[in-house]
Structures are given as C-alpha cells and as structure tokens.
Structure 1
Amino acid sequence: MTTHKLMLLPGDGIGPEIMAEVTKVIAWTERAFDVTFDVSSGLVGGCAYDAEGVPLSDETLAAAKACDAIIMGAVGGPKWDGVDYDKRPEAGLLRLRKELDAFANLRPAICFDALADASSLKREFVAGLDLLFVRELSSGVYFGEPRGIETLDDGSRVGINTQRYTEAEIERIAHVGFQMAQKRGGRVASAEKSNVMEAGLLWREVVTEVHQDHYSDVELTHILADNCAMQLVKNPKQFDVILTDNLFGDLLSDEAAMLTGSLGMLPSASLGNGEMPGLYEPVHGSAPDIAGEGIANPIAAILSFAMALRYSLNMGGAATAVEAAVDRVLADNVRTSDIWAEGTMRVTTSQMGDAILKKLDDN
C-alpha cells in the first residue's frame, strides 16, 4: 500500500472549518484508492504568532519540507493588523512559499455550469469558462529589495517596494506556462506592463525568446496587464493560459474569481522544481467576519486537495473523481451562502462537505 505524507496547515479564520471538510475527502481517498496518508498538522499565520511568537516556526517549516504535499487553509485577520510586517500572518505564508521555492502558482478559474448564473457576468460570457493563471510566486515586488518605510531628511516618510525579476526567474515560469498550455488549449497570453516598466519589458523579451526556442506549437500573445483586466470582464473565454508575474497574477486571478461565481470556488497549487513538496491552498482569504459561523464554502479547499492529488501525488484518477463530485453536488443545487440563490438549497460548511462525500461514495 502506497503511503503519502501530508501536512495540514489550517491557519486562521475559516481555515480550520474548511480544513475539516478536506479531511473527510482525504479519508475517502484512502478507502477508495487503497492508499494511506500520513497526516500531520501545524500552525501558520496569526495562530502561529499567538502560540509561538512567529508566523511560521523553523520546526513547522522543517516538517512541511519533509512531506509530499502541504494543504493550507488561510492566514490573516484584523487581530494582527498592528503586528510588525515581518511577524504578520502573511509573512509566514510568504516565507513558506520562498523556502519551498514554490515559484509556479497555478490558479484555475473554472465556471461550473450550475454556477453560471451566480457569476457577476451574464451566463453567455462565463458558461464553459476554463482558464488557468500561471503566476510567478517567489519573486517580483513582494520580495524585491530594497523595501521598507524610511524617514526622509525633511521628516516625511516614504514607502519602498522594488519590482525585480531576473532573466532566469522569468524563463522558468515561462516554461511552466507553455507546458501547461500544451496540455490544454495551446494558447498563452503573457500579461505585463512593458510600456511603463523595465521589468515588464524584460519579461516580454524573455517570454518571447523561450517561446521561439522551445514552444513553436503554442500560440503566444502579449497583453498589457490593465488590458487583460478589461478583457477578463469583456470576453473571458478568449483566454486559455494567462502567464504573469507575482503582483499582476494576484490581482487578475482574484478578478477572475468573480467570473466563476465566488472566491470560495478557486483552488491553487504552488509548485517548485520537484525537490520540495507542493503547497496547495484556496485562493480566498481567512474571512474573519464569518469565522466560526459554519457558513464558509469548503469547495476551494477541497479542490486544492484534488490539485495535490494530481500534481504531487500522481493520483489523477482520484483528483478527477473529487472534481466530478463537486460538479454533481452543484448540479443538485446545493449551495453555501456565498453561492446561494433563490430556488437552491442553502447548506453549512459541514453539510457541503458531507454532500460531496456522498457523491464520492455513490460514484
């Protein structure tokens, strides 16, 4: 029997609630596919700061690195707004990504047919939507130096963040983008701001070179990031793979979330070169305003586990089964509050997890 090591990092806010539903799917996968999961858990984010004084301890990081895949919930909340930046919950997540060298963030934006009317756009614009963001995750403005808040000679302050990309960093994420497109519709739209940013100009030049040298079978178009934002609202189905940097990928993929009906529907995978485990997490945040109420949508977290099955654990069949179960539950008009509409059945977080589990058992 195959054994995989998993680490669960529920985090803050609704993180523990949605992670509880992921554990149900983990247990089903063990039963259905004759596999064992060696599951451990740890603290990250605000809860880690409260308990350990840091948002990610060295011990938790070491344990995470020793696993085959890491499933995370969410971090952050207003409780920690006054904490220094290097101790804030988000710093734990950024450190985890950096230490894992998880430079490739895969964020699918899929509109399930049953949720086409829940989108902020008309059904005809989003029905059948299936696009993939390939976001560079370990460099760019979130990590560039110099950074900080400094006091000038006149006593005023200046905030500094540096957008910085090396040629090698762009090359390796470009390869991921093109390889993903080869498995999908064969089209890449590379989004940057080459008209006003040198980093964007280098991005365009390097992506073009990688395309010409290795991926002539893929169609490449370049698009300015602000135009990409507009086109996502105007005609999102024109896209297959959107390749972009850390900052623009963060913004554009969150915009695309509303095309699918809810931020609670979007999973993600953060991958490196294969030497470290993948990190899987829902795109949504910790939603502290609804934490503890049992109404959070666990689907993005469950689909993130499905991505772990596919990309880290070589269990594509199990991943497909989980995704199909989610589709069937939505087709039955079962909804958490974020995707509820008149005529559908509103359920709690736990009830949504149970409904998905029933579909898996009935398969």
Structure 2
Amino acid sequence: MHAEIALLPGDGIGPEVTAAAVSVLRSVARRHGHDFAFPEYDVGGIAIDRHGVPLPEATLQGCRRADAVLLGAVGGPKWSDPNAKVRPEQGLLALRKGLGLFANLRPVRPHPAALDASPIKPHLLTGVDIVVVRELTGGIYFGEKTRTADAASDLCSYSVVEIERVLRSAFRLARLRRGYLVSVDKANVLETSRLWRDVAARIGREEFPDVRLEHQLVDSMAMHLLARPREYDVIVTENMFGDILTDEASMLAGSLGLLPSASLGDGKAGLYEPIHGSAPDIAGKGIANPYATILSCALLLRHSLELHEEADCIERAVDGALNAQAFTGDLARGGRGLSTAAAAQAVIEQLQAHCYVAELRD
C-alpha cells in the first residue's frame, strides 16, 4: 500500500516524539511491504513565527490531500498569553474544523508494567479498558464570545445534528466492544445537556437497542472514573466535559506519555496525536516519552489505512517494550530512564522479534 501521512511536528517535544513515531512507522512499512510518504507542515507556535498564523493554508490543504495526519503538540511559553489574538491552540481547533473531524477517541488501557507510575492504587487499575469519545467541533469552545471591562461570556451551543453524529460513532464503537455506553452531561443544569440526553436516549432506543445506555452527570462521572474505572467501557460526552475527563483519565495510565488519540469524521482520514502537551520544560533534551505518539500511529493504521494487522503489531510491540522495562523517565522510578530514541528503538526491536509478516509473504 502507498499512503501519504502528513506530519505536523508542532512545538516543544512535538518534533522529538513525532520523529520517534515515524521511525516505527518506517519499520512497519518495510516489514509489511508498504510505502509511506511523510510530507511535513507547520502548525501552532512555529507556524505563528514563520507564517503569522497558527494554521497556514498550505498546512490545511496538505492535510486534506493526505490519507491521515500525525500531530506532535502545539504551544509553549513563548505564545502562552491568553489575551493574545493569535495563539497556537487556535491552529488545532481550526484544523479539526477544517478537516471535518467531530469525534475524538481516547483509549485508556493501563499497562501492567506501568501501574506503579499511576497515583491510583494498582488494584483499581487492573483490567481497566475504556474509550472516551469526545465531541470536537461544537460547544463552548466554538460559541460566540464577548468581553467588556466588566463582564465576559462564552456561548455553549449544540445542534441535534452535531450531537447525533458523535453519539452514533460512540454507539457503533460500544457495539464492537462490550455493548455498554455511558453518556455524560449536566442535564440537571444546562439546556444543551438536556438536549444531549434526549438525543442519546432516542438514538439508543431506535438505532442501538442492543447497546446498554446509561446517563451520568459530569461531576459524578469525574468521581466514578477514579473510584471504579474498571466498570466502564465507552464514555461519550460534549467538547469541554470530554477535554476535562480525558485528562483526568490519563492518571489511570500513570503518564500522559502512554495515551494516544484519534480524531475522526465521516470519512477515513483522521488526525492522530498523543494527548500530552508540548512539555517545554523537557523540549530538546531527548527524554520525552514517545509511546503515546507511537500508539497514535497504531490508531492511524487501523482507522484511516485499515491496516489492522500492522496496528496490532505496533500495540503488541509497545506492550513488549514496556514488559521489558523500556521506561522513559516519567515511568521509571527515580526519574531516570531511556531516551526518546532508545524507547522507539525498543519498540522497533519488538517488531523485529515478533512481526514476521513480510518474511512469510516473501
């Protein structure tokens, strides 16, 4: 297969973890007989510095041409003024909108070898396997905003169509897993949440009667997610609630450096990125954890390129590397660990040891 994967390394540790992930993708391509091209574009802070905008038109068009997009991270102290008219995160929001990506999938599956890195008691984490589906293009982040000397406002708005499409994505995913979906809202206070709950109940009743649907208020969900995470399967929610809950869920895995994500729309193309930020405090030191970005590549292969066997190989290789104690500093006790490049190499060695597809085909 020939595929074009647009690279958006971005800011901070973004270029480092992206380079590590690309080395793994190249290894997969060689071993499975594929041809991956990696055109590179600017986004975020580096795009502001070079082009004056966080999402240049050339970047958006390049991403639209590609079969999938791999993003590193955006932002940093240089561009951190919240009152600035142009900010790196605007590029990411505009990219999602421009590519028509409305559903963000964030799987959380704590690895047994890394349980000690989590602040949560290990016995609560064994067997946890959750996917959070977050709506990406509506809600308070995209609503009309006002600001005066004495007041400010942010409009939270959702249409039925916006709610339906992300809920259907979550229901379909739950149907393929354990058949259990929790829809998170704040229906006791917010009118948008009351609409969300009504739509969820209707779609569940009319289109997915085989999926068990439960409604949960976001504040109680925040508590249950840490107290009894093993009980949940697929969780779906609106944009801001999803942003907060997925960062909370990262504590289950012990490190942001272990959690991938996929942003999908109606077609096969998608945007894949680790959920961590640009980590400017360690940028350029070569010690960032690349596993979340590498695991995002597995999601890319599965969802956009439909290379399921190759995606499974990457996930097994990361599991093997962690089982072999190939820890970066965020996972290692005492804070000392492998470099970014060495962690990627550990994954490649696992691929070489356990993926025989190309050789068998020859």
Instruction: State TM-score, norm by structure 2.
Output: 0.96
Paired residue for 1:354? 345
Distance 2:55 2:82 in 1: 14
- Pair 1:193 & 2:183 matched: no
**In 2, Cα distance between the equivalents of 1:309 and 1:102?**
17
- Runs of 4+ in structure 1 deviating by more than 6 angstroms, as ranges, are none
Q: What is the alpha-carbon root mean square deviation over aligned residues? A: 1.3
For 1:136 and 1:83, the matched residues in 2 are separated by 23
Would you say the 8 A contact 1:334–1:345 is kept in 2?
no
1:250 alignment counterpart: 243
- 5 Å-filtered alignment, 1:278-357, equals 278-341=270-333, 346-357=337-348
CA contact (8 A) 1:112 1:128 kept: no
In the other structure, the counterpart of 1:93 is: 92
Q: Say whether residues 1:170 and 2:163 are aligned partners.
A: yes
Whether the 8 Å CA contact 2:329–2:336 is kept in 1: the answer is no
Q: Offset of 1:148 from its aligned partner?
A: 3.4
SS at structure 2 position matched to 1:51: helix
- What secondary structure is seen at the aligned counterpart in 2 of 1:41? coil
Match of 2:360 in 1: none
Matched residue, 2:28: 29
Q: Please tell me whether residue 41 in structure 1 is matched to residue 32 in structure 2.
A: no
> Which structure is higher in strand share?
1
Cα offset for 1:116?
Answer: 1.7
Provide the C-alpha distance between the structure 2 equivalents of 1:77 and 1:345, rounded to a whole number of angstroms.
Answer: 24
Q: Distance in 1 between matches of 2:3 and 2:145?
A: 39
> Aligned residue for 1:234?
227
Query: Taking structure 1 as reference, are residues 290 and 148 closer, same or farther at Cα in structure 2, changes over 3 Å only?
Result: farther
Structure 2 portions without partners, runs of 5+: 355-362
| Cα distance in 2 for residues equivalent to 1:86 and 1:187 | 42
> Retained in 2: the 8 A contact 1:10–1:16?
yes
**Structure 2 residue aligned with 1:126:** 125
Aligned length: 354
**Partner residue in 1 for 2:146:** 148
> Match of 1:135?
134
Return the alpha-carbon distance in structure 2 between the equivalents of residues 84 and 50 of structure 1: 17
| Mapped partners of 1:305, 1:80: distance in 2 | 28
Cα distance in 2, alignment partners of residues 231 and 22 from structure 1: 33
Output the TM-score relative to the length of structure 1.
0.95
- Name the % identity: 45
Structure 1 partner of 2:79 = 80
Change (3 A) 1:83 1:252: closer
User: Which residue number in structure 1 is paired with residue 359 of structure 2?
Assistant: none
Residue 350 of structure 1 and its aligned partner are, at CA, apart by 0.9
Secondary structure of 2:106's aligned partner: strand
SS for the counterpart of 2:253 is coil
For residues 325 and 299 of structure 1, the distance between their equivalents in structure 2, rounded to whole angstroms, comes to 10
1:263 and 2:279 aligned: no
Corresponding residue of 2:56: 57
1:333 and 1:345 in contact (8 A); partners too:
no
Do the aligned residues in 2 keep the contact of 1:85 with 1:91 (CA within 8 Å)? no
Deviation at 1:129, TM superposition (A): 1.0
SS of corresponding position for 1:64: helix
**C-alpha distance in 1 between matches for 2:95 and 2:275:** 16
| 2:216 matches 1:223 | yes
- CA shift at 1:83, angstroms? 7.3
Structure 1 residue 26: Cα displacement: 1.5
Q: Compute the displacement of 1:159 (Å).
A: 2.2
